[in-house]
Amino acid sequence: MDLRAELLKSIWYAFTALDVEKSGKVSKSQLKVLSHNLYTVLCIPHDPVALEEHFRDDDDGPVSSQGYMPYLNKYILDKVEEGAFVKENFDELCWTLTAKKNYKPDRNGNSVVSHQDAFKLWCLFNFLSEDKYPLVMVPDEVEYLLKKICTAMNVELNSCELDDYLSQELQEQGGLTVWQFLDMVNSGRFLRGIEQDAISMAVEEVYQEVIEDVLKQARSPRVLGHKPCPALHPVSDSRVSRVQGYLWKKGQLRRNWSERWFTLKPSVLSYYMSEDRKEKKGSIALDKHCCVEVLPDRDGKRCMFCVKTSSRTYEMSASDTRQRQEWTLAIQTAIRLQAEGKKSLHKDLKQKRREQREQREQRKAAKEEEMQRLRQLQEEKERKLQELELLKEAQRQAEILLQEEEQRRRQQHEEMQRTLEIQLREAEQARASMQAEMVLKEAEAERQRKRIMELEDMQERLQEALQQEVKARQDEESVRYAQARLLAEEEEKLKQLMKLKEEQEEYIIKTQREKQVLKQEMENKNKCLEEAQKQLEEVRVNRQRVDQDVMAAQRKLRQASTNVKHWNVQMNRLMHPIGPGDKRINVSGGGFAGYQPFLSHRDSSLK
């Protein structure tokens, strides 16, 4: 677990404890005091300027956890150095703030654990809780922690009762909160008949093992109070062995043997004057180059072994062979952790347990998905069977309908065949009558073809006459357009002449006192007027010429109209229907009198 994540868990409890109104925000004055205390316990140089600047009084009001995080990261967590502070002091600060508000032991003094033991359980809870907020501990970790405490007291945990309790408490959430966990421990439900001192010692042992990374330490006979604890193997199952008595250590200078209290952590084997660990006598740094060897008995000491480092060899003596074996195995475990680059055994074990839980969840999810898929396949199969039955029923209905349709179609075919026979007989009769009629029609058509040929010839001559008439009309239109243009020019010249006259009059009125000066200009104007009159005369002459052209075009038009009338008379004569036995009408004399209305209509259309 990252140091920052560990610190954030405890700080989260302190922040939520200061949130009295449970609004998710804390006043700036409280955060200022909290930050100052964090500076102190984390051994970070104080920055009062940044503290005052960030938490100055303004109208922004309380600060949320998201608003506090930038300052916390920049000025506190980024400056923390591992090993430069006492982690227990930091945890005690955060515990003091949160326990005052949330921890509620039995007022009658019937609590199973003391206040100090509750603090250590709180630290253990933070270590084993999930990295999600709000912090909870999953049931597997709850059972793991309770089993370690019970193992330290040489009692067996009732797993069935624990499962029942957790199933009732975890109906809506994924784990226990720390306060639910402490209430469960204080209820005595799983620690019946055990003295408080024994529980306190067991909690202390688990705390040192898990939080302080103590892989092994010699143990006093007062741990359980009434019976010795059997040796446990600490290598494969992650439990820390506990034995009785002190270890003897041989000095380097005086070479005498002294009884010392030893504590083993992953990176160091420390030894103290006594089990209270107030006076530290020395430590042995462990790395991947160290090794442990069993030594033969000598100098009146038995069950000897030594720890060899790159600079020195430390000789020690255990009380019996079992204790020596346990210590050598524990030290070898610490050396193996150093070789693998792991700082904490329990952090590694916690990560492995988490990975196992995730794998179980994945397998469970995969199994549920497979069951869901099987259910869907079963439902799909049932649905397909139902659809098959429906299709069979629809096929039977379709066969019945097909038979009925075939019967009806056969009847319709027979009726249609009878009708067609009747129509065929009628068609034969009609064909005979039509053949007789066709003979008459062919004779009539021959007469009509001859008449059409005569009409087509007449039409061609009429089209030529019409083209001449159209050309004459186009010439007339062009002459009229030229005449209109000349008239427009004449009118424009007249307008200019009138304008010149008006200007002359204006100049006469305005320049009476300047007649002599303007006389020359008047002469020029008169010249211009004379030229305009000449141009007007020319326009009039042109107009007369155009009028003559118009008259000539009109003569041509009358001539063309006369030709058209002549050809209309010829066309009307040819268009008169000729009946069998009719006499030919005499063209000479008054033969054109009957076509006078047509000619007058044609003449009016041409006009």
Q: Can you give 475-540 as a three-state secondary structure string?
A: HHHHHHHHHHHHHHHHHHHHHHHHHHHHHHHHHHHHCHHHHHHHHHHHHHHHHHHHHHHHHHHHHH
Q: What is the per-residue pLDDT across 475-513, written as a single tens digit (0 to 9) for each?
A: 888 888 988 888 888 888 888 888 888 888 887 787 777
50 pLDDT above the threshold of 90: no
Distances in whole angstroms, Cα of residue 16 to Cα of each of 74, 97, 125, 320 = 21, 9, 17, 51
Q: What is the per-residue pLDDT across 418-451, written as a single tens digit (0 to 9) for each?
A: 989 999 989 988 888 888 888 888 888 888 888 8
Q: What is the mean pLDDT of residues 163-190?
A: 78
Q: Give the dihedral of Cα atoms 88, 43, 280, 94; nearest 10 deg.
A: -10
Cα separation, 602 vs 29, whole angstroms? 116
In percent, how much of the chain has pLDDT > 90? 13
Cα separation, 362 vs 364, whole angstroms? 5
At residue 305, the pLDDT reads 93
| Between 192 and 415, residue with greater pLDDT | 415
Q: How would residue 51 be classed by pLDDT, with cut points 50, 70 and 90?
A: confident
Q: How would residue 304 be classed by pLDDT, with cut points 50, 70 and 90?
A: very high
| Between 422 and 222, residue with greater pLDDT | 422
221 pLDDT above the threshold of 80: no
600 pLDDT above the threshold of 70: no
577 pLDDT above the threshold of 90: no
Q: Exposed e or buried b for every residue in 532-556, given b needs 16+ CB within 10 A?
A: eeeebeebeebbeebeebbeebeeb
Mode of pairing for the β-strands spanning 304-308 and 25-26: unpaired
With 0.75 as the threshold, say if the pTM is over it: no
606 pLDDT above the threshold of 60: no
Q: What is the per-residue pLDDT across 351-407, written as a single tens digit (0 to 9) for each?
A: 888 888 888 888 888 898 999 999 999 999 999 999 999 999 999 999 999 999 999
Cα separation, 317 vs 249, whole angstroms? 6
Q: What is the per-residue pLDDT across 515-574, written as a single tens digit (0 to 9) for each?
A: 777 778 778 888 888 888 888 888 888 888 888 888 988 888 888 888 888 888 887 777
| Between 236 and 45, residue with greater pLDDT | 45
At residue 141, the pLDDT reads 87
| Between 128 and 342, residue with greater pLDDT | 128
At residue 59, the pLDDT reads 58
216 pLDDT above the threshold of 80: no
At residue 109, the pLDDT reads 62
Q: How would residue 597 be classed by pLDDT, with cut points 50, 70 and 90?
A: very low
Handedness of CA 126, 128, 134, 136 (dihedral sign): negative
At residue 378, the pLDDT reads 92
First-to-last alpha carbon distance for the chain, in angstroms, is: 114
Cα separation, 217 vs 259, whole angstroms? 13
